[in-house]
A and B are shown apart, each in its own frame.
Chain A
Amino acid sequence: MNFERITEKLSILADAAKYDVSCASSGSKRNNKDKGLGNATGMGICHSYTEDGRCVSLLKILLTNVCIFDCAYCVTRKSNDIKRAAFTVQEVVDLTINFYRRNYIEGLFLSSGIFKSADTTMERLVQVAKKLRLEENFNGYIHLKSIPGASDELMHEAGLYADRLSVNLELPTEEGLKLLAPDKNRQDMIDPMNFVKNEILVYNDEKKRFKKTPKFAPGGQSTQMIIGATPETDLQIIHTANHFYKDFNLKRVYYSGYVPVANDSRLPSLQSQVPMLRENRLYQADWLMRFYGFKADEILDPKQPFLELDVDPKLGWALRNLHFFPINIQNADIEMILRIPGVGIKSAWKIIGGRKFSKLNADHLKKMGVALNRAKHFISFSNSLQNLQTLHHQNLKEIILKTINSKYEEHYQPQLALF
């Protein structure tokens, strides 16, 4: 192994891959078979965290950063004057195995620039996965990027070896894509996604009848949208996400605040800030849809197409819908308990369990992990009327804001100053 050469390649190809925010290794269960190497537990482990606070779970690299396309928001774009490099299939296999054996990673997330055609690129990615599975008996996590325009046959093979497949939508709307990635078209992205979705359905169906059906992309599909490079509203973004969750059974939609990488009049300037708070609010809205039973148009409506930056979307919904409150903690349904600001999923279930034993009071809730500073305004207890006075106070929002220390406060301040 030429160690220096590999170090250089790794340096270039990890750097180019890092803007893909997904690093999840969850959602796939794969047992270690025949005394081989590795397993996927379904939970996923973050083995480390970068200084930007993101989870490091997978070896996330490009096979090559040679690309024939010229997408404006991408460091790898053809017109960018940067060093190019390419791994061989065997080099990626060796790195993955050696990192995995040392417990650095859960597996591999392999993407690539489109170096010749979609199919040649996809074929090379599939080779890596195939080699890991068949030659190394590797049962760790593999996430492959589906190259837009890749053939159904290749996507089928990819699904046999990978845990997760993803095509990045890149931009929330077709117009955005046309503007910034003129070489790409949305249909090329949707086709492989559709194919994989159908294959997964076929697999689920066959598994019911034949136990030995080989796995097909057990971790499902995900996608990513870049936020803030184009002028879409949060409403458009949330609706796009909702559409893909529903119609393509996606496991995750990732939102990636645009990190300025190019001096291009179509894009925010190189000095612009990464919209991290907005990105965070979108993730919160996404959680509300997936786990808290909120519908997309409850979170935002055409009159208010952007998420508020000063309050999280759940609190925002509560403040706009005061008529649902206060909620009686002793007998409300779980669906309503979940809608109380400051009550998470875990504490909601603790409330349901605990109230069978005693009449809950504020102290109980606090110990169950409820953020009382927010929740108390929206709750009524069985035998007291204590907080009701504040609920219809016209300054309720300010009252609550004073008690919240947002972890994004530092980011929030300078952004406010821009208005």
Chain B
Amino acid sequence: MYLLTYDHSVEGFFSAVFEAYERKLKNVVIRKQGLPMVLFTDGMRRVSTNPRKAERVYVKLKALMGELGIQKIIYSLLTEEELCEGYIFDVIKYALANPKVNVMKDMSHPSVLKLAQYTKSVHREKHRMEAFVRFKLTCDDIYYADIEPDFNVLPIIAKHFKSRYQDQKWLIFDQKRSYGIYYDLYKLEIIQMKFNRQYNREEGLEMLKKDEPLYQSLWRTYYAQTNIRLRKNMRLHLLHVPKRYWKYLTEKIPEY
């Protein structure tokens, strides 16, 4: 077996795929850098990310499996799962070996099916984040939100927020992965920040616009009033809003 490692980026992964074919390597395994070592006999290589090579792979795959197919590959990478590259590479090999058909439609192929499942999970998380982001208006007139999604979906939700909130500055920050996306009324920008200690709610209050806590409180009032107690169904409720998301949901956080 031959091990290729890459830098966790989509471009890095495509560069690795390129090298696997360029060097005609047999039994290739592609893994993220920095993961625990596995025993390999035929050697290993740290692939350096190369936009030109990545682009060629991207174009080729898109021609073979269409927009939706390539989207499945990218979504699967966003799961950040340790073994996802194995299934993805498997599908890529399958596609390259069968250029006449769109193999993504072959749901009887285990790796194709796996990618469909990954895509579904990432898609659901994307949808959830588009729903669960809760902006707070800060003193400097930026609508700010923290998130901690299960998968790395920030890059694929930014577009939604950009088309919706065009006349307000906003920043969505992924606390788990320590980066955010900022919209300055013109363009999107990636922002890296390290918070050096745990988030403190009372201190955070000083950063907020005066009316902000009032609107949060109105939202909580609304949320409580719109519930019909006679129909209470917590099982269904938790299915839709699992507890791990409550941390940043205004309606689930007690009043200041």
Q: Which A residues are closer than 8 A to B by beta carbons? A: 1, 3, 6-7, 10-11, 14-15, 17-19, 31-32, 35-39, 41, 45-56, 59-60, 95, 98-99, 101-104, 137, 257, 259-260, 274, 276, 350, 353-354, 356-358, 360, 364, 367-368, 407
Contacts and interface: CB of A to CB of B under 8 A. Distances in A.
Contacts of B215: 98-99, 102
Given A36-B166, A259-B231, A104 B250 contact: yes
A41 B137 CA distance: 24
Q: 6 nearest interchain CB pairs? A: A53-B236, A52-B231, A354-B107, A14-B225, A50-B227, A49-B240
A39 B163 contact: yes
B107 A353 contact: yes
B216 to A, nearest CB: 8
Highest count of chain A CB atoms <10 Å: which of B109, B217, B231, B241 = B231
Contact of B108 (A17, A36, A364): A364
A260 B232 CA distance: 14
Contact of B221 (A7, A18, A60, A260): A7
A357 B106 contact: yes
23 contacts: A11-B221, A17-B226, A35-B166, A36-B167, A41-B160, A45-B127, A46-B131, A49-B241, A50-B228, A52-B231, A52-B233, A53-B235, A53-B239, A54-B231, A55-B240, A60-B226, A102-B219, A103-B133, A103-B135, A103-B145, A104-B134, A137-B167, A354-B107
Contact of A50 (B105, B108, B223, B235): B223
Contact of A18 (B132, B134, B228): B228
B137 A368 contact: no
A350 B106 CA distance: 9
A101 B219 contact: no
Given A45-B130, A49-B236, A49-B237, 20 more contacts: A11-B221, A11-B225, A31-B163, A45-B127, A46-B131, A48-B251, A51-B227, A51-B229, A51-B232, A52-B228, A52-B229, A56-B226, A60-B226, A95-B218, A101-B143, A102-B136, A102-B215, A357-B106, A357-B109, A364-B107
Contacts of B217: 3, 7
B190 interface: no
A42 to B, nearest CB: 12
B137 A102 contact: yes
Given A45-B127, A102-B134, A356-B105, A51 B237 contact: yes
A259 B132 contact: no
Contact of B241 (A11, A48, A260): A48
Contacts of A38: 164-165
- Determine chain B's interface SS by DSSP, over half rule: helix
B97 interface: no
A84 B186 CA distance: 45
A15 B221 CA distance: 10
A362 to B, nearest CB: 12
Interface residues of B, number: 52
Contacts of B232: 51-52
Nearest to B102: A353
Contacts of B131: 45-48
B184 to A, nearest CB: 13
B222 interface: yes
Interface string B99-111: 0000001111100
B19 to A, nearest CB: 30
A104 B219 contact: yes
Contacts of A18: 225-228
Interface in B163-189: 163-168
Highest count of chain A CB atoms <10 Å: which of B211, B223, B233, B235 = B233
B35 interface: no
A10 B237 contact: no
Contacts of B240: 46, 49, 53, 55
B214 interface: yes
A54 B240 CA distance: 9
Contacts of A1: 211, 214
Contacts of B108: 354, 357-358, 360, 364
A325 to B, nearest CB: 23
Contacts of A53: 231, 233, 235-237, 239-240
Nearest to A23: B226
Nearest to B101: A357
A35 B106 contact: no
Nearest to B220: A7
Given A53-B236, A98-B215, A37 B166 contact: yes
A101 to B, nearest CB: 6
Nearest to B166: A35
A276 B135 contact: no
Contacts of A360: 108
B234 interface: yes
B39 interface: no
A358 B227 CA distance: 49
A389 B179 CA distance: 59
A36 B249 CA distance: 26
A354 to B, nearest CB: 4
Contacts of A35: 166-167
A150 to B, nearest CB: 26
